[in-house]
Amino acid sequence: IEVVLKDISEEAAGKGKAYSEKLLEKQVARGRMTEDGKNRVLELIKPTASDADLQGCDLIIEAVFENMDLKHRITKATEGYLADNGIWGSNTSTLPITELAQASGKPENFIGIHFFSPVDKMPLVEIICGEKTSDETLARAFDYTRQIRKTPIVVNDSMGFFTSRTFGTYLDEGVRLLNEGAHPVQIEAMGKAIGMPVGPLAVYDEVSLELSRKAQETWKEMGVLDKWGDGTVLRSVIDTMVGEHGRGGRHHGGGFYEYSADGGKAIWPGLFDLYYKPDAQFSEQDMKDRLLFRPVIESLKCLETNVLRSVADGNIGSIMGIGAPVWTGGYIQFVNTYGLQHFVDRCRELEQKYGERFAPPQIALDHAASGEIFA
């Protein structure tokens, strides 16, 4: 597809194209592409710092920082360059599409197109429909996603949609365990033990504590700070890590981990002084279930409130977008395999020990009572 890559400067846009060139060179080196093929792809990418070069685009996808005002400014400044009946996509991971579309002259042509990092490796795209998004716009976004060989799921509008809401609970529970005094290495080991690619602290460093801090500020401005649960513990840890110790995450010089020039990493020693309690006792089974059940429960809540349009989208999205353990078959399928009543009972045990965030959702209670699996 012919692409205009617009950034704040020619240099920044050039870096974007250079990244694509590096990926293509790897394909050439592996015999998966010819040199001519690489050059043909690169000829399709036009790096620029000028909005005017967007003139006539059928689709514009913005990917600026998660700030409502900034995204509104970008929309107003560049939407007019779209072709007649062109569509506008926002690569937002958390901000409601309906509110983002308020800056659009054609909210029916406005849709969320959420990619996952690293985009060249992650197969999923989460398509989010706002209140006014038309069926035609959805169809065109879906076709575009298939055209670039990604797997789409379609969800309805919500703060954080499905993937970010669900994935955030894994990070939050890891931070809660840290705050309770669990050994950081044990926390990470329990994440891997349930089948996650990496532990919650390591992945939080990749996501960025600084980015999370800024997102929390945006949510506070929007009046939705704790809409999906109490974030007091998370904010306390972020304030300490970022505000007091300058530990913003991997791309900010280090966060929960320290990183070496050769690509190695180790737990930041300061974590032991700040949080580790050698005398605290933790059940490893409880630790594993806490890290697994939080995103499962959030997935069920998304299904219950029609954020998820289908069980299949929840299962596909959790595995292909947020790295859910493959053995589960997806977070919702996990409930079927675990046993509906068994799941409800275990939720109640965890709720009694650790709080209401583990309360079984009504949809789980209903299915357990009827014996109907999630399908």
pLDDT tens-digit map of 189-220: 999 999 999 999 999 999 899 988 887 787 78
User: Residue 228: pLDDT band by 50, 70, 90 thresholds?
Assistant: low
62, 66, 126, 173: the active-site residue: 126
Whether residue 131 lies in the annotated active site? no
Predicted confidence (pLDDT) at residue 3 exceeds the cutoff of 90: yes
**pLDDT more than 90, % of the chain:** 90
Between 231-240, 298-307, 333-342, the lowest mean confidence (pLDDT) is in: 231-240
Query: 90 forms bridges with which residues in the sheet?
Result: 62, 112
pTM confidence score: 0.92
Predicted pLDDT at 51: 97
What residues contact 251, with CB distance under 8 A and at least 6 apart? 208
